[in-house]
Amino acid sequence: MRNHLLLGAEAIGAAALDAGISGVYAYPGTPSTEITEFIQRSPETVHNAVRSSWSANEKTALEAALGMSFAGKRSLCCMKHVGLNVAADAFINAAITGVNGGLVIAVADDPSMHSSQNEQDSRIYGKFAMIPVLEPATQQELYDTTVEAFALSEELRLPVLLRLTTRLSHSRCGIRRLSARKQNELQPESDPKRFVLIPSNARRQYDKLLDLQPELAARSESSHLNRLIEGAEKSGIVAFGVAFNYVMEVIQAHGLSKPVLRIGQYPLPEKMLRRFIETCETVLVAEDGYPVAEEYIRGLAGNPKVHGRLDGALPRSGELNADLIAEALGIRREKAPEVLSIVADRPPELCKGCGHRDMFEAISAVMNNQANHQVFSDIGCYTLGALPPFNAIHSCVDMGAAVTMAKGAADAGMTPAVAVIGDSTFTHSGITGLLDAVNDRNAVTVIIADNTTTAMTGGQASAATGRLQHICEGIGVEKEHIRTLVPLKKNLEHNITVLREEIAHEGVSVVIFLRECVEIAQRRLRSAKQQKRNPVKTAS
Amino acid sequence: MKKNILLAGVGGQGILSIAAVMDLAAIESGLQIKQAEVHGMSQRGGAVQSHLRISDATIYSDLIPEREAHLILSVEPMEALRYLPWLAEDGVIVSSIDPVRNIPDYPDMEKIAEAIRKAAPHILVNAEALALQAGSSRMANMIVLGAASPWTGLEPGALEKAVRTLFGPKGCEIVDMNIAAFRTGRGLSEKGSGLKAAATAKTTERQRV
Average pLDDT of A295-320?
A: 88
Write the burial class of residue A43 (CB in 10 Å: 0-12 exposed, 13-18 middle, 19+ buried). Answer: exposed
Dist. CA A200–CA A508, nearest whole Å: 43
pLDDT in tens, A18-37: 999 999 999 999 999 999 99
Confidence of residue B201 (pLDDT cuts 50, 70, 90): very low
> Which of A219-228, A286-295, A301-310, B111-120 has the lowest average pLDDT?
A301-310
Cβ(B74)–Cβ(B93) under 8 Å? yes
Q: Provide the number of CB pairs (under 8 Å) joining chain A to chain B.
A: 142
- Bridge partners of A494, per DSSP, are none
Confidence of residue A192 (pLDDT cuts 50, 70, 90): confident
**Contacts of B191-195 spanning 24+ positions with Cβ under 8 A:** B194/B123, B194/B147, B194/B150, B195/B92, B195/B121, B195/B122, B195/B123
Average pLDDT of chain A to the nearest whole number: 95
Backbone φ and ψ for A231, nearest 5 degrees, come out as -160, 160
* Global confidence as pTM: 0.90
Task: Using the predicted structure, report yes or no on whether residue B207 has a pLDDT greater than 60.
Answer: no
* Cβ partners under 8 Å of residue A536, min gap 6: none
Dist. CA A391–CA A157, nearest whole Å: 51
- From chain A residues 404-463, the ones with a CB under 8 A of any chain B CB are 456-458
- What ipTM describes this predicted complex? 0.87
Q: Do A347 and B46 touch (CB under 8 A)?
A: yes
At B2 the pLDDT is 95
Q: Looking at the partner chain, which of A167, A245, A346 has a beta carbon nearest the beta carbon of B10?
A: A346
Percent of chain A exceeding pLDDT 70 equals 98
Dist. CA A246–CA A170, nearest whole Å: 16
CA dihedral defined by A309, A313, A316, A317, rounded to 10 degrees?
A: -110
Query: Residue B165: its chain A contacts at CB < 8 A?
Result: none
pLDDT in tens, B87-108: 999 999 999 999 999 999 999 9
Q: How far apart are the CA of B60 and the nearest CA of chain A, in angstroms?
A: 5
Backbone φ and ψ for B205, nearest 5 degrees, come out as -90, 115
At B43 the pLDDT is 67
Average pLDDT of A305-320?
A: 94
- Residue A339 near chain B (CB below 8 Å): yes
Q: How far apart are the CA of B3 and the nearest CA of chain A, in angstroms?
A: 14
Give the residue on B whose Cα is nearest the Cα of A138: B60
Q: What's the Cα-to-Cα distance from A257 to each of A152, A167, A272, A323, B58, rounded to whole Å?
A: 34, 26, 20, 18, 18
Confidence of residue B200 (pLDDT cuts 50, 70, 90): low
Q: Rounded to the nearest 10 degrees, what angle do helices A122-129 and A292-301 cross at?
A: 60
Confidence of residue A1 (pLDDT cuts 50, 70, 90): low
Q: Looking at the partner chain, which of A171, A249, A253 has a beta carbon nearest the beta carbon of B36?
A: A171
At B209 the pLDDT is 39
CA R_g for chain A: 25
At B203 the pLDDT is 39
Q: Order of strands across the sheet with A74-80?
A: A21-26, A74-80, A103-109, A160-165, A133-134, A265-266
At B204 the pLDDT is 39
Q: Do B63 and A384 touch (CB under 8 A)?
A: no
pLDDT in tens, A130-170: 999 999 999 999 999 999 999 999 999 999 999 999 999 99
If DSSP codes are grouped into helix, strand and coil, which group holds residue A283?
strand
Query: Residue B44: its chain A contacts at CB < 8 A?
Result: 348-351, 381, 384
pLDDT in tens, A208-228: 999 999 999 999 999 999 999
Q: Do A248 and B46 touch (CB under 8 A)?
A: no
User: Would you list the DSSP string of A402-436?
Assistant: HHHHHHHHHHTT-SSEEEEEEHHHIIIIIHHHHHH
DSSP E strands in A423-516: the ranges are 444-450, 482-485, 509-514
Q: How far apart are the CA of B191 and the nearest CA of chain A, in angstroms?
A: 31
Query: Residue A384: its chain B contacts at CB < 8 A?
Result: 41, 44
Give the residue on A whose Cα is nearest the Cα of B169: A537
Q: Which residue has better confidence, B204 or A470?
A: A470
Task: Using the predicted structure, report yes or no on whether residue A284 has a pLDDT greater than 80.
Answer: yes
Q: Which of A115, A172, A335 to mutate to test the interface with B (most CBs of B within 10 A)?
A: A172
3-class SS shares of chain B: helix, strand, coil, % to 5 = 45, 20, 35
Write the burial class of residue A175 (CB in 10 Å: 0-12 exposed, 13-18 middle, 19+ buried). Answer: buried
> Which of A8-17, A187-196, A272-281, B40-49 has the lowest average pLDDT?
B40-49
Q: What is the 3-state secondary structure (H, E, C) of A123-166?
A: HHHHHHHCCCEECCCCHHHHHHHHHHHHHHHHHHCCCEEEEEEH
Query: Residue A170: its chain B contacts at CB < 8 A?
Result: 36-39
At A302 the pLDDT is 66
